Amino acid sequence: MSMRVAEVGVGDLEGLFRGLLEKKVVDCLVMPYTAGKNIAYMLVTDPGKIESSSAGAIFAPSFSVNAAGIVKGWTIENKVALVAKPCEIRAAVELVKLNQMDKNSLLLISVDCSGTFENQVYAEHRDDIGDWVDGAKIEELKGKGIEIREACKICRNRLADVGDIGISRQGGEKVLIAGLTKMGEAALTALELPLEDKDMERKDEKAKIVEEAEKNEEALPKISSPEELDEFLKDCIVCKNCRDVCPVCYCKECFFDQPLGNPAGGDLLNLSELRGAIGVPTNRLFYHLTRVYHVSATCVGCGACADACPKEIPLTRYYPVITRKVQEMFDYEPGRDIEEPIPFTTYEEEELEDRLR
């Protein structure tokens, strides 16, 4: 797949991001930055606030929140550039399809990802991990007991091939910046980057990533019955953190914040009188079954739900694994194409006949 690509050095990225603001390509950027030993996101409007350390942070293998959630609801005219990992950009694409963001107000910039560490793990081992890792470095760290997040181990979409612009670090200090859409090409042209045609399909690299992810997913413990699911979720306190950090959960009013979904006081007593006895907290299994259905087509497998769980339930073994089965059924990959409709928003008579036989 040939596209317009510029080759620059890591040190040139500071000028790239500053240029987006200085040339009014966008009004602001949401991008990672170094905060002590940690990595966080910032929304920046002043080009002078972008430093080399901020630009280099885009490669840092740390995951705090899914950045798509930061711009969720961005329907204003001001144009924002989102610089983030592929899973975050894919979530943003799904939010556009769900009418939670205006595509014309977004410039989506994805960055290659080799895998990430939980933010607290990254901060604790910053000196060992560094600002960028490749496969060899990940294996070296694994030998020291420092492992990437489980969600990253089963991720099949680590390459910056989604959004409007893709940024790929080729090893050392060389970076390739590709215009993936007309909007992306126009932005790079406005920055006067030396663009040339280059094949960026990377089939072999993609195949290797998918093979590794499938192997890791196969090794995960399976949940194959309602009883096993109930046991898996036994420590859940229905805090709803997994819902609150999920980038593609967007309902203004959640059923589980209403009296029927979250009974308390007299409602709790009435429910108990109807059934004779109820378990508390209520609706634990119902909550997770409803949520997995809700995100079954749009889950990007970022693992934010597992990171946010105060009881440390490995939700990566539930949500991404189950939702991938639904996505495969419909031959749908969230974030792949902004023009591709979400399966549940369209209807075709007998569309599942062949798939369910």
Instruction: State the pLDDT at residue 319.
Output: 94
* Total count of domains within the chain: 2
Instruction: State the pLDDT at residue 356.
Output: 60
Q: Which two tokens stand for residue 44?
A: 């920046």
Give yes or no: residues 298 and 199 share one domain: no
Q: Is 304 exposed, middle or buried (0-12, 13-18, 19+ CB in 10 A)?
A: buried
Spans of the chain below 70 pLDDT: 1, 53, 349-357
Give yes or no: residues 129 and 276 share one domain: no
Instruction: State the pLDDT at residue 265.
Output: 85
Instruction: State the pLDDT at residue 357.
Output: 56
Give yes or no: residues 104 and 212 share one domain: yes
Give yes or no: residues 213 and 247 share one domain: no
Give yes or no: residues 77 and 119 share one domain: yes
Q: Among candidates 316, 116, 351, 341, which has minimal Cα distance to 324?
A: 316
Instruction: State the pLDDT at residue 272.
Output: 85
Give yes or no: residues 210 and 284 share one domain: no
Give yes or no: residues 303 and 234 share one domain: yes
Give yes or no: residues 268 and 198 share one domain: no
**Cβ neighbours around 62 below 10 Å, total:** 23
Give yes or no: residues 152 and 53 share one domain: yes
Extended beta strands in the chain, E state: 2-9, 28-35, 38-44, 62-63, 80-84, 106-111, 117-118, 165-169, 174-179, 196-199
Instruction: State the pLDDT at residue 324.
Output: 92
Q: Which of 218, 239, 265 is the last residue of a domain?
A: 218
**Cβ neighbours around 178 below 10 Å, total:** 23
8 vs 23: CA distance, rounded Å? 19
302 vs 319: CA distance, rounded Å? 10
Q: Which of 192, 218, 244 is the last residue of a domain?
A: 218
Q: What is the pTM of this model?
A: 0.93
Give yes or no: residues 197 and 256 share one domain: no
Q: Which of 218, 236, 262 is the last residue of a domain?
A: 218
Instruction: State the pLDDT at residue 198.
Output: 85
Q: How far is CA 134 from CA 93, 138, 158, 167, 343, in A?
A: 26, 6, 12, 15, 35
Give yes or no: residues 292 and 332 share one domain: yes
Q: State which residues form the domain around 10.
A: 2-218
- Going 295 to 86 to 38 to 212, the CA torsion angle's sign is positive
Give yes or no: residues 171 and 273 share one domain: no
